[in-house]
Amino acid sequence: MKLHIGGEETKEGWTIFNIQKKKHVDIVGSLEDLSQFSENSIEQIYASHVFEHVKIANCLKILKDIHRILEKDGKLLISVPDMDIIFRLFINPKATTNVKFLLMKMVFGGQVDNHDFHYFGWNYEFMVDFLAKANFSKFKRVESLEIFKDTSELKAYGHKISLNMIAVK
């Protein structure tokens, strides 16, 4: 199984797991409870802009649980807003109010519903530290995850604002 966490876009071979019941969502559930998935049962997990919605205290537990359900050599494809980029762009004197407002929403969430709040700000160093503590054997930063059309490709002021990583169990 290939699991798309937090997604809505359908793609052959992928099962959509989302906290909200929406069109095309196959499994409704919380990222904080992956107990319905067996150990070593998932080939790939794709999670774009969902980990900033996780409380700091739960991040490591969830990454360890993702590691548990991935099969040997399974991959986690993860994208989060990159605080290093966002903060650099925010303080740029050329950034317009509209750009700064978009960047502010990347930090705090769009807050359009009860699930759209951000609890954690990620950068490369934080991500590598958490992935290592969750026992992933390899991880690398990539320009693009190139699977779904989503926020992993989002740009502000002409710059991609996402940290895209691939981690291997």
Task: Give the range of the structural domain holding residue 147, as residue numbers without chain letter.
Answer: 2-80+117-152+162-168
In a domain, 89, yes or no: no
Determine the average pLDDT of the residues in 30-52.
Answer: 95
* pLDDT at position 30: 92
- The dihedral through the CA atoms of 119, 133, 47, 157 has a sign that is positive
CA gyration radius for the chain?
Answer: 16
As a whole number, the mean pLDDT across the chain is: 93
Q: What is the CATH number of the domain that holds 46?
A: 3.40.50.150
Give the pLDDT band (50/70/90) at residue 106: confident
Distances (CA, A) of 51 to 23, 56, 109, 119, 130: 22, 9, 12, 9, 12
pLDDT above 70: percentage of residues in the chain: 100
Is 107 a domain residue?
no
* pLDDT (0 to 100) of residue 146: 86
The number of folded domains in the chain is 1
User: 160: Cβ–Cβ under 8 A, 6 or more apart, which residues?
Assistant: 85, 143, 153, 154
144-156 pLDDT, tens per residue? Answer: 998 988 888 888 7
Residue 51, in any domain of the structure: yes
